């Protein structure tokens, strides 16, 4: 990341900007009008923090989303807390790295 004329530039700031503009997150915002925060995390943050168990966050409380923006695919996870999948509007998507991590956990 580096400083630019209009703020930070680099891969991380671009990814953050794309994630907060993803359609699945935009669809969620009106449903949470009474809440102060809607959380989306990058795929990397999800893998390194949520799936690894840091902070006590439950991976089941997140839902994988992705979208192609300007020819590049961006992956993220929206936090739903204990809301059931029935109230979620985003279709379930298989997380490509989850099966690997599940096998790894079983071996440990």
Question: Whole-prediction pTM value?
Answer: 0.66
Each residue of 43-101: pLDDT tens digit? 999 999 999 888 788 888 898 998 888 888 989 999 987 665 545 555 444 455 455 55
Each residue of 24-51: pLDDT tens digit? 888 888 888 887 778 899 999 999 999 9
Q: Which residue do the tokens 């503009």 mark? A: 21
User: Residue 65 in contact with residue 59, Cβ under 8 Å?
Assistant: no
User: Residue 76 in contact with residue 65, Cβ under 8 Å?
Assistant: yes
SS3 content of the chain, % helix, strand, coil (to 5): 45, 25, 35
pLDDT at residue 16 is higher than 80? yes
pLDDT score at 1: 52
């Amino acid at each position: 990341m580096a400083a630019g004329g209009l703020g930070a530039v680099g891969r991380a700031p671009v990814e953050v900007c794309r994630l907060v503009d993803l359609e699945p997150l935009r669809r969620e915002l009106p449903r949470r009008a009474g809440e102060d925060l809607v959380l989306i995390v990058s795929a990397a943050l999800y893998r390194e923090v949520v799936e690894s168990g840091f902070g006590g966050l439950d991976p089941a409380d997140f839902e994988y989303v992705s979208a192609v923006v300007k020819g590049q695919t961006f992956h993220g996870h929206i936090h739903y807390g204990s809301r059931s999948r029935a109230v979620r509007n985003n279709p379930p998507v298989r997380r490509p790295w989850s099966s690997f991590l599940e096998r790894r956990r079983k071996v440990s």
